[in-house]
Amino acid sequence: MRLTLLAQALAAAAAMALAACHPSTNSAATTATATAGKSAADATRPPASVDGQPITRAMLDFVARNNTGKKYDELTPDDQKKLVDDLIRIELLANAAVQKGKDKDPDVVQAIELGRLNVLMQSTITDYIKDKQPTEQDVRAYYEQRIKEAPQTWYRVRVIAVATQPYAEDIVNELKKGGDFIAIARREASGDAAKQAAGDSGWFSLENVPQALANAVSALKVGEYTAAPVQLPDGWGIVRLEQTRPADKPEFDKVRQALTRELIAKKVDTLVEELRKTAKIERATAGG
C-alpha cells in the first residue's frame, strides 16, 4: 500500500512539474489573448502627441498616401520617423499661433475657410472627372485644333521708346534726316541692359502685344519703321520691323500633359455651368 501511495505521489509531482514546464491550453490561450490585446492597443495608440493633441495614424496615413502613394505602415522606419517629425513641427507652429490668438484673426479665419472650400471643391472635381479623362484621340484632336488656331508668324522688332508723343515725332524727323535707328534706340534707353539691347524686342506673336503695336507691326515690311509714333503701354515709340519667321510647331509629346490639363479644365467649366443653372446666385449692386 505504501509503495502504491508513494508511486501516486511521485506521479502527481511529475504531473505538476510537467504542467509548470508546459502550460495548459487554457494558459497558452490566455497568453495569446494578452499579446493580441497589447498589439491592438499598440496599433490604436497615436505614434506621437503634442501637448496632449494626438498625431493620429489616420492623419499619418492621409499624408503618406498623398505624398508617396503608400500607407504609413508601408513606409520604412526612417520615413515614418520623418513624417511624424514633420507633423510634430506643424503642430508646434500651429499651437504657437493659437496661443497668440491668431486663429481669431479675421484674415486667418478667412484663409482657413478658403482652405476648406478648396478641399471640398477638389473633392467634387476629382469625383466628376474620374470617368471623364481625355483619351489619346481627344488630346491629339485638340492638339491639331490648337495648331490651326496658333499664330503662323513670329516677329522681331526694334523700338525707340520715349515718354511723349511730341518727342517721338521729333525722333521720326531725325530718322528721316538719316539718323541711325540703333544708335538712337540705345541713346534713349534707360539702364545698361536696355542700352545694350537697343530696343530689340526678341521674338513674339501679334496676339501677345497691345493692339496698337500689333496693327503697326503688321503693316510694316522688314526694314521699315513706323512713319508716325505708336502709343505703347508706358509711352510712345517708333517701331522698326527687323525679322519675321514661321511660328514653331510644338511636338505633341512635349505638350500632351498641358493639353490634357486644358481639356480637363474645360470639362470642369462645363460642370460649373451646369451647377450655375440650378443655383440661386445673387450679386450686390454696384455700391451696395
d(CA 225, CA 168): 13
CB 139 within 8 A of CB 256: yes
DSSP 129-168: HTT-PPPHHHHHHHHHHHHHHS-SEEEEEEEEEES-HHHH
pLDDT for residue 151: 86
Q: How far is CA 154 from CA 151, 232, 287, in A?
A: 7, 19, 45
Does 221 reside within a domain? yes
The angle that helices 252-278 and 106-129 make with each other, rounded to 10 degrees, is: 110
Does 52 reside within a domain? no
Helix H segments across the chain?
A: 2-21, 25-44, 57-68, 77-99, 106-129, 136-149, 165-176, 181-188, 192-197, 211-218, 252-278
Q: Which three cell numbers stand for residue 1?
A: 500500500
Q: How many domains does the chain fold into?
A: 2
d(CA 18, CA 4): 21
pLDDT for residue 248: 85
Residue 89 amino acid letter: R
Does 136 reside within a domain? no
d(CA 48, CA 287): 52
Does 30 reside within a domain? yes
Averages of pLDDT over runs of 10 residues in the chain (288 residues) are 36 38 45 47 77 93 94 94 96 95 96 96 95 95 92 93 94 95 93 90 90 94 94 93 92 95 96 95 78
Does 142 reside within a domain? no
Does 206 reside within a domain? yes
pLDDT for residue 82: 96
pLDDT for residue 21: 40
**Ramachandran region, residue 210 (left: φ > 0; alpha: ψ -120 to 50; beta: rest):** beta
Which range of residues forms the domain containing residue 20?
2-40
200: domain CATH number is: 3.10.50.40
pLDDT for residue 41: 52
d(CA 259, CA 261): 5
Q: Which three cell numbers stand for residue 252?
A: 505633341
pLDDT for residue 25: 43
Does 286 reside within a domain? no
Does 16 reside within a domain? yes
pLDDT for residue 286: 67
